[in-house]
């Protein structure tokens, strides 16, 4: 079975800020839009920023490998080269990381590069990469 694109709709409080962040900084191509929402091509997947001031969920976190991981969050698994380039682009732009870019589970099953940050509306984003993509669904 070939991988099918997922669709995710999420709340934002400012479409201009969402456009600058998702389209400009992250580099997602913009698709259709209205005065209430914007479609973005998120590495081949469809994410939709919907204008809904005050609707971003309260955040909590869970401990993972010594860090407090924000819940809920979403993201994508990138190639390591793309992950490194994005981490540098985010650093250069002064993005405040919730969890700084690092390698989690180093030397263990599931070793992965990961970083967490928030979009301008406060949505938590995780971007990760695996040196060995076969580790993505490795059971513990």
CATH number at residue 111: 3.10.180.10
CA–CA distance, 20 with 26 (Å, rounded to integer): 9
For residue 2, what pLDDT is reported?
82
Q: Are residues 29 and 73 in the same domain?
A: no
**Residues 86 and 44 grouped into a single domain:** no
Residue 66 and residue 45 share a domain: no
Predicted local distance difference test score (pLDDT) of residue 1: 62
Whether the CB-CB separation of 36 and 50 falls below 8 Å is answered with: yes
Task: Look at residue 57 in the predicted model and tell me its pLDDT.
Answer: 64
- Average the pLDDT over 18-30 and give the result: 97
User: Given strand 97-104, what is the order of strands in its sheet?
Assistant: 74-78, 124-129, 112-118, 97-104
Instruction: For 85-110, write each residue's pLDDT tens digit.
Output: 999 999 999 999 999 999 999 998 99
Range of the domain at 14: 7-51
Q: Assess whether 47 and 70 both reside in one domain.
A: no
pTM of the full structure: 0.91
Rounded to whole angstroms, the Cα distance separating 58 from 103 reads 27
Whether 2 is covered by a domain: the verdict is no
Q: Is 34 in the same domain as 86? A: no
Task: Return the CATH number at 26.
Answer: 3.30.720.120
The total domain count for the chain is 2
Please state, for a pLDDT cut of 70, what percent of the chain lies above it: 97
Q: Is 103 helix (H, G, I), strand (E, B) or coil?
A: strand
Give pLDDT tens digits for 41-70.
999 999 999 999 888 766 788 888 888 888
For the chain, give the mean pLDDT. 93
Same domain, 43 and 78: no
Whether 21 maps to a domain, the answer reads: yes
């Amino acid at each position: 079975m070939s991988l099918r694109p997922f669709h995710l709709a999420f709340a934002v409080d400012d479409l201009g800020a969402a456009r600058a962040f998702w389209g400009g900084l992250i580099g997602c191509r913009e698709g259709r839009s209205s005065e209430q929402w914007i479609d973005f091509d998120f590495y081949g997947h469809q994410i939709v920023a919907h204008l809904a001031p005050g609707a971003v969920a309260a955040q909590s976190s869970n401990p993972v490998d010594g860090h407090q991981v924000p819940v809920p969050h979403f993201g994508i698994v990138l190639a390591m080269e793309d992950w490194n380039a994005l981490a540098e682009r985010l650093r250069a732009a002064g993005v405040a990381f919730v969890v700084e870019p690092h390698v989690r589970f180093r030397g263990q099953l599931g070793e992965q590069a990961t970083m967490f940050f928030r979009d301008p509306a406060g949505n938590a984003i995780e971007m990760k990469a695996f040196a060995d993509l076969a580790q993505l669904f490795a059971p513990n």
